[in-house]
């Protein structure tokens, strides 16, 4: 009887451990696929990135799918994704400056996260290739919900 009780206690401990690991993994997966903000590259045509809680791109939308045909930025850090997109647009001749210039807007309901993302984009993003090489791109913060 004592062996059976010991076996059942161990079995319950393993079941609890398995359930805890499963719950933590499921929550992490949910946080990865759940959108937590949006970053818009106001170019011609505009490009919108959907970003998760880990600042990874989970979706990219644009009116002209041909612009991003040779670029895969899904699951990349948002700063890297925007820089890759700008570099590709500059190389391909899609980068067009108007009087207001290129801007990036960050939309998120989390003020602190959006602020740090805006700061990183302002510090790290610049045009590295093509006619406008060396120019910085200004990111602005939009606080609110989708």
The CA-atom distances, in angstroms, between 126 and each of 10, 39, 77 are: 58, 16, 16
What is the arithmetic mean of pLDDT over 124-134? Answer: 69
The tens digit of pLDDT for each residue in 23-53 reads: 999 999 999 999 999 999 887 778 999 999 9
Helices (H), 58-145: 78-92, 111-124
Lowest mean pLDDT among 25-29, 80-84, 124-128, 133-137: 133-137
* Mean pLDDT over each residue of the chain, to the nearest integer: 84
- 89 within 8 A of 127, measured Cβ to Cβ: no
Domain ranges of the chain: 1-33, 35-143
How far apart are alpha carbons 27 and 6 in whole angstroms?
32
The residues, ordered by sequence, that sit 6+ positions from 96 with a Cβ below 8 Å of its Cβ are 43, 44
How far apart are alpha carbons 47 and 39 in whole angstroms?
8
The tens digit of pLDDT for each residue in 64-84 reads: 877 788 789 999 999 999 989
pTM: 0.78
């Amino acid at each position: 009887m004592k062996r059976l009780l010991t076996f059942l206690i161990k079995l319950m401990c393993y079941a609890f451990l398995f359930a805890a690991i499963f719950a933590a993994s499921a929550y992490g997966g949910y946080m990865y696929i759940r959108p937590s903000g949006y970053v818009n590259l106001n170019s011609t045509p505009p490009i919108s990135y959907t970003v998760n809680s880990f600042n990874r791109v989970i979706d990219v939308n644009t009116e002209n799918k041909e612009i991003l045909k040779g670029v895969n930025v899904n699951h990349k850090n948002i700063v890297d994704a925007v820089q890759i997109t700008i570099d590709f647009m500059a190389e391909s001749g899609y980068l067009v400056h108007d009087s207001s210039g290129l801007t990036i807007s960050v939309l998120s309901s989390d003020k602190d996260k959006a602020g740090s993302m805006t700061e990183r984009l302002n510090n790290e993003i610049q045009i590295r290739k093509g006619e406008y090489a060396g120019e910085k791109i200004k990111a602005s913060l939009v606080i609110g919900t989708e």
